[in-house]
Amino acid sequence: MKEMRLLRDLRHDNINSFIGACVEPMRILLVTDYCAKGSLYDIVENEDIKLDDLFIASLVHDLIKAMIYIHSSALNYHGNLKSSNCVVTSRWMLQVTDFGLHDLRHCAENESIGEHQHYRNLFWKSPELLRQPSVYGSQKGDVYAFAIILFEIIGRRGPFGYTELEPKEIIERVKAIPAEPDCEPFRPDIDSVLENESVPDYVINCIRDCWDENADLRPDFPSIRNRLKRMRGGKSKNIMDQMMEMMEKYANNLEEIVQDRTRLLCEEKRKTEDLLHRMLPQPVAEKLTKGLGVEPVSYDSVTIYFSDIVGFTAMSAESTPLQVVNFLNDLYTVFDRIIKGYDVYKVETIGDAYMVVSGLPITNGNRHVGEIASMALELLHAVRNHRIAHRPNETLKLRIGIHTGPVVAGVVGLTMPRYCLFGDTVNTASRMESNGEALKIHISQQCKDALDQLGGYVIVERGLIAMKGKGEVMTYWLEAATESAIQKIPVDLCDLPPPLFCRPRRSPKMTCDSRHPSMIGLPGATGSCMVNSSSYMPGSRRQSCAHRGGTCGGDHESSYSLQGSVYGCILPGAGGATIRRHEHSIRDSSLPPEDDDSQSAAAATAAATASVAGHFTTWQGGSNGRSDRGGRSVQQVSAQQQL
Q: What is the DSSP string of 187-234?
A: ---THHHHTSTTS-HHHHHHHHHHT-SSGGGSPPHHHHHHHTGGGGTT
Alpha carbons 184 and 9: distance in angstroms, whole number: 42
Judge whether 148 and 127 are in contact, CB under 8 Å: no
Mean pLDDT of 376-391: 90
pLDDT of 581 higher than 70: no
Q: Are 481 and 458 a contacting pair, CB within 8 Å?
A: yes
pLDDT category at 291 given cuts 50, 70, 90 is confident
pLDDT at 633 over 80: no
DSSP state of 304: E
Q: Is the predicted pLDDT of residue 183 greater than 70, yes or no? A: yes
pLDDT value of residue 118: 85
The answer for residues whose C-beta is within 8 angstroms of residue 465's C-beta and 6 or more apart is 435, 472, 473, 474, 475, 547
pLDDT at 182 over 70: yes
Higher pLDDT: 595 or 327? It is 327
pLDDT value of residue 620 = 35
Which has the higher per-residue pLDDT, 6 or 208? Answer: 208
Structure-model confidence comparison of residues 570 and 267, the more confident one: 267
Helical packing angle, 239-279 and 282-289, nearest 10°? 130
Kindly report the average pLDDT of the chain as a whole number. 76
Task: Specify the pLDDT at position 242.
Answer: 65
End-to-end CA distance of the chain: 98
Residue 605 and residue 567: Cα distance in Å, rounded?
A: 10
CB 369 within 8 A of CB 447: yes
Q: Quick one: pLDDT at residue 233? A: 67
pLDDT of 590 above 60:
no
Q: What is the mean pLDDT of residues 77-104?
A: 87
Looking at the predicted structure, is the pLDDT value of residue 589 above 60? no
Q: What is the mean pLDDT of residues 467-485?
A: 90
Domains in the chain: ranges and CATH: 1-235 (1.10.510.10), 293-485 (3.30.70.1230)
Given a cut of 90, whether residue 638 has pLDDT beyond it is no
For residues 313-318, average pLDDT? 89
Q: 225 pLDDT exceeds 90?
A: yes
* Per-residue pLDDT band at 435 (split at 50, 70, 90): very high
pLDDT > 90 in the chain, percent: 31
pLDDT at 299: 93
| CA 89 to mean position of chain CA atoms | 42
Let me know how many helices (H) and strands (E) the chain has, helices first: 20, 20
Task: Choose the most confident range, by mean pLDDT, from 96-110, 149-163, 273-287.
Answer: 149-163
pLDDT classification of 65: cutoffs 50, 70, 90: very high
**Which of 234-243, 455-464, 571-580 is the most confident on average?**
455-464
The pLDDT score that the predictor gives to residue 592 is 39
Q: How far is residue 541 from each of residues 331, 462, 471, 492, measured CA to CA in Å?
A: 20, 24, 19, 35
Instruction: Supply the DSSP string of 424-459, one letter for each residue.
Output: HHHHHHHHHHHTS-TTEEEEEHHHHHHHHHH--EEE
Q: Angle of helix 139-155 relative to helix 201-210, nearest 10 degrees? A: 140
**Greatest mean pLDDT range, 243-257, 347-361, 536-550:** 347-361
Q: pLDDT value at position 241?
A: 67
pLDDT (0 to 100) of residue 295: 83
Calculate mean pLDDT across residues 276-286. 79
Indicate whether 367 pLDDT > 80. Answer: yes
Half-sphere exposure of 443 (CA within 13 A, CB side): 29
Q: What is the pLDDT of residues 528-570, one digit of tens each?
A: 333 333 333 333 343 333 333 433 333 333 333 333 333 333 3
Interval 78-88 mean pLDDT = 91
pLDDT at 496 (0 to 100):
64
Q: Which residues partner with 227 through β-bridges?
A: none
- Measured in degrees and rounded to the nearest 5, phi and psi for residue 418 equal -130, 145
> Which pLDDT band, with edges at 50, 70 and 90, does 79 fall under?
confident
Strand, helix or coil for residue 321: helix
> At 179, is the pLDDT very low, low, confident or very high (cuts 50, 70, 90)?
confident
Q: In this predicted structure, what is the pLDDT of residue 236? A: 52
Q: What's the pLDDT band for 101 if we cut at 50, 70, 90?
A: confident
**Higher pLDDT among residues 511 and 477, named by residue:** 477
Residue 300's pLDDT is 93
What is d(CA 537, CA 533) in angstroms, rounded to the nearest whole number? 9
The per-residue pLDDT for 83 is: 92
Cis previous bond, 296, omega within 30: no
Residue 109 has what pLDDT? 59
Q: What is the pLDDT of residue 60?
A: 92
* Residue 238: predicted pLDDT: 57
Over residues 289-301, mean pLDDT: 84
What pLDDT, on a 0 to 100 scale, did the predictor assign at position 270?
A: 84
- What integer pLDDT is reported at residue 499 of this predicted model? 67
Question: Sorting pLDDT into bands at 50, 70 and 90, what band is 50?
Answer: confident
pLDDT number for residue 451 = 94
In order of 49, 153, 335, 416, 520, the CA distances from 251 in angstroms are 10, 21, 52, 44, 66
DSSP 393: E
Find out whether 37 and 59 touch, Cβ atoms under 8 Å: no
| Greater model confidence, 568 or 335 | 335
Average pLDDT over residues 435-457: 93
SS3 273: helix
The pLDDT-based confidence of 606 (bands split at 50, 70, 90) is: very low
H or E element, residue 480: strand 471-481
Answer yes or no: is pLDDT of 123 > 80: yes
pLDDT digit string (tens) for 189-207?
887 777 665 788 899 999 9
Task: Mean pLDDT check: name the lowest of 9-18, 166-175, 450-459, 579-588.
Answer: 579-588
Q: What pTM value is reported for the model?
A: 0.46
- Separation CA 145–CA 122 (nearest Å): 10
Which residues share a beta bridge with 475? 444, 463
